[in-house]
Chain A
């Protein structure tokens, strides 16, 4: 018994020490499961660890706002593939976040699916008024839903929006408890087994509805460890380039890393575009496009009364920092 106590107290002590001593021999990166990205090859093969000279811990999250919260507390240093919407919300609320890159773009990997039995398409979308819709009411899915419904002239106030996690929303649609569910990744694949998308990704892009995930960090971390941030972006870039040359070679590794069946992972991967650093540094993206879009999204949420007020364009410009990406070769 005494021995057990000793062991217990020793474990407790190390736990306390390891959380307080923050000498950077460890790096904590947030990511999503069922969301395969090209850089996960480097994650699995520990290339990040080798190149950066620190132990990289990958922590999976269920939604991007939780990533923001973990970055606020200092437990997460870099969030890879955080949704753009949680980032906008965080910055607008005064969180010390920094957007340092665009992880991937996707329109078809985040969408709203109408249940077969509901018999609603974009022609009679107005029938959604009074119906139940399940979604994570804070992320990219929610933003896309609001924008899509606005475009189809549906009064969102009359739609019963149920706040559910991504995977729960898929379960609710499967049971037929809701008429529409909006989600992403593996959950979206499951949703599609029970119905069809309201608008296709291409149709949504045609009306100017952009969706992408970002790479985020905190100002504090970027200031203290700029070299780690740059190296992280370099390894990611290398992985993206390698993947784009021969995607099929990496399917198996990526499926395993993302916790998906290979067929599902391939389905999701094919709808992703991983931008090269050159593309990211163009006018469309980090030299103006993302900045303007940040303000646009924040203003939209103010109009929807989800946010009280938005910041000025200059404040949003400050939260977007391409300097690390510029150092990537």
Chain B
């Protein structure tokens, strides 16, 4: 029982800690979930109250019961010939495909930028030139290059994530303490071993941060990417509904996107704990 209370409120005993402010290890530690619960419950309560008392016109923000009834209708009857599940599956598939492609190219690219002088000089101007470009500005061009199939949408998501990942990997690789590299060399490590056993583990925390940022940006982009002639997808659903000023469907789509993004983020945090247990504890 006391264990459960601790989990809910967070441990009261601070005896084990020397400082309480400046130590961010609580972020990934259990406990204190009551505050999460309170913040979400307050938001939902506000929405319910505003729906009951009709504080805002539905055109600006829909009442909660409208969103719920749309959820039921679209789950069973579908929206534009696809059910809700099909829309969700289409968007998740695109986001994951674009994101994984971004990892596949971006992370090695970031390492190349940090570890090879020639590669750095070749790719640095290209990366810096392309990085600030909003992928959405390219939509008409992407249609001309790749057409309107899945590849166009995945390419846009890839563009949204690849530079973030490249920069994260570069900065991660650059933050490796040189003495560690030297130590490994004195132990007769090969280049390959240095890469996989010294640099990669050191870069992992920053890569994980980059991945979490990138997948968030991918979700932001999928709505616009599905402007490129999508037949299904949450983004397409939101866009089409917004043209008809159906705010209830728009809000439903936004909530679903946020929920899915949140679930993915929880999974990433789990991976981070699993693969980078030393985060914040290492001495550089």
Query: Contacts A93-B245, A94-B58 given: A163-B148 contact, CB under 8 Å?
Result: no
A69 to chain B: which residues have CB within 8 Å? 245
- Say yes or no: B229 contacts A163, CB within 8 Å: yes
Asked whether any CB of chain B lies closer than 8 Å to the CB of A167, the reply is yes
A94 to chain B: closest residue by CB: B59
Sample of 29 A–B contacts (CB below 8 Å)? A63-B243, A89-B245, A93-B245, A93-B246, A94-B57, A94-B59, A134-B229, A136-B243, A138-B243, A157-B81, A161-B231, A162-B148, A162-B229, A163-B236, A164-B148, A164-B227, A164-B228, A165-B227, A167-B140, A168-B227, A168-B228, A168-B229, A172-B143, A172-B148, A172-B229, A175-B143, A177-B148, A307-B244, A308-B246
Asked whether any CB of chain A lies closer than 8 Å to the CB of B240, the reply is yes
Give a binary string over B55-95; 1 marks a CB under 8 Å from any A CB, 0 the rest. 00111000000000000000000001100000000000000
Give a binary string over A186-214; 1 marks a CB under 8 Å from any B CB, 0 the rest. 00000000000000000000000000000
B243 to chain A: which residues have CB within 8 Å? 63, 65, 89, 136-138
* Other-chain residue from B59, B228, B230, B242 in contact with A95 (beta carbon distance below 8 A): B59
Asked whether any CB of chain A lies closer than 8 Å to the CB of B239, the reply is yes
Shortest beta-carbon distance from B54 to chain A in Å: 12
Shortest beta-carbon distance from B102 to chain A in Å: 24
| Cα distance, A172 to B231, chains bound together (Å) | 14
Give a binary string over A121-153; 1 marks a CB under 8 Å from any B CB, 0 the rest. 000000000000010111000000000000000
Query: Contacts A157-B81, A162-B231 given: A138-B244 contact, CB under 8 Å?
Result: yes
Most interface-central of A69, A90, A162, A168 (chain B CB within 10 A): A168
Asked whether any CB of chain A lies closer than 8 Å to the CB of B277, the reply is no
| Cα distance, A93 to B144, chains bound together (Å) | 36
- Say yes or no: A163 contacts B230, CB within 8 Å: yes
Query: Contacts A157-B81, A163-B240, A168-B140 given: A95-B245 contact, CB under 8 Å?
Result: yes
Query: Contacts A72-B59, A134-B148, A163-B236 given: A168-B245 contact, CB under 8 Å?
Result: no
B242 to chain A: which residues have CB within 8 Å? 65
- Say yes or no: B59 contacts A93, CB within 8 Å: yes
Query: How many chain A residues touch the partner (CB < 8 A)?
Result: 32
Asked whether any CB of chain B lies closer than 8 Å to the CB of A306, the reply is yes
- Say yes or no: A163 contacts B227, CB within 8 Å: yes
Binding site for A on B (CB under 8 A): 57-59, 80-81, 139-140, 143-144, 147-149, 227-231, 236, 239-240, 242-246
A93 to chain B: which residues have CB within 8 Å? 59, 244-246
| Cα distance, A172 to B229, chains bound together (Å) | 9
A174 to chain B: closest residue by CB: B144
| Cα distance, A65 to B247, chains bound together (Å) | 13
B57 to chain A: which residues have CB within 8 Å? 94
| Cα distance, A308 to B241, chains bound together (Å) | 12
| Cα distance, A69 to B239, chains bound together (Å) | 13
| Cα distance, A95 to B246, chains bound together (Å) | 12
Shortest beta-carbon distance from B84 to chain A in Å: 15
Give a binary string over A161-187; 1 marks a CB under 8 Å from any B CB, 0 the rest. 111110110011011011000000000
Asked whether any CB of chain B lies closer than 8 Å to the CB of A160, the reply is yes
| Cα distance, A137 to B57, chains bound together (Å) | 25
Shortest beta-carbon distance from B64 to chain A in Å: 17
A134 to chain B: closest residue by CB: B229
| Cα distance, A90 to B58, chains bound together (Å) | 13
Shortest beta-carbon distance from A156 to chain B in Å: 10
Shortest beta-carbon distance from B70 to chain A in Å: 9
When A and B form their complex, which 4 residue pairs have the shortest distance between CB atoms, in order from nearest?
A138-B243, A162-B229, A93-B245, A65-B243
| Cα distance, A127 to B243, chains bound together (Å) | 28
- Say yes or no: A160 contacts B231, CB within 8 Å: yes
| Cα distance, A174 to B246, chains bound together (Å) | 32
Asked whether any CB of chain B lies closer than 8 Å to the CB of A82, the reply is no
Asked whether any CB of chain B lies closer than 8 Å to the CB of A258, the reply is no
| Cα distance, A65 to B246, chains bound together (Å) | 12
| Cα distance, A168 to B225, chains bound together (Å) | 13
Asked whether any CB of chain B lies closer than 8 Å to the CB of A291, the reply is no
Shortest beta-carbon distance from B103 to chain A in Å: 29
| Cα distance, A168 to B58, chains bound together (Å) | 31
Shortest beta-carbon distance from B167 to chain A in Å: 25
- Say yes or no: B144 contacts A175, CB within 8 Å: yes
Asked whether any CB of chain B lies closer than 8 Å to the CB of A236, the reply is no
Asked whether any CB of chain B lies closer than 8 Å to the CB of A68, the reply is yes
